[in-house]
């Protein structure tokens, strides 16, 4: 069962949790005991914030009415907001898949 439980959603969830735990350990030495959902949300927020900043920078560079720095800040903030929901969604889907696979196991 463990081979099937670690599919696409498990890999994404584990990656987001690792990024979140690393960020929590940089900020606070007690970050190792954080919840998985919080770590996944923090990891999703950081990754989506970086992606949003890059997209905002690129799109504002093409625009003539907005400075590139302002576009990067707006993209960073929007990416951080979307990332929290993305991390929480990935954790919820991964937990649901694990529960379904646990119920299908041999009895």
What confidence score (pLDDT) does residue 4 get? 54
Tell me: pLDDT of 105 over 80: no
Asked if residue 9 lies in contact with residue 93, where contact means CB atoms within 8 angstroms, the answer is yes
Q: What percentage of the chain exceeds 90 in pLDDT?
A: 0
CA distances from 45 to 9, 28, 64, 65, 77 (A): 17, 17, 29, 28, 10
Whether the model clears a pTM of 0.85, i.e. scores above it, the answer is no
Chain segment 55-96, per-residue pLDDT in tens:
888 888 776 667 878 888 888 888 888 888 888 888 888 888
What confidence score (pLDDT) does residue 1 get? 45
């Amino acid at each position: 069962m463990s081979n099937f439980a670690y599919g696409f959603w498990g890999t994404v969830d584990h990656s987001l949790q690792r990024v979140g735990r690393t960020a929590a350990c940089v900020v606070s030495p007690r970050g190792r005991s954080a919840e998985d959902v919080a770590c996944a949300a923090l990891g999703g927020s950081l990754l989506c914030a970086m992606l949003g900043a890059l997209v905002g920078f690129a799109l504002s560079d093409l625009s003539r009415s907005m400075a590139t720095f302002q576009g990067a800040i707006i993209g960073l903030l929007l990416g951080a907001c979307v990332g929290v929901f993305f991390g929480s969604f990935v954790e919820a889907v991964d937990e649901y898949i694990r529960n379904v696979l646990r119920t299908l196991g041999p009895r």
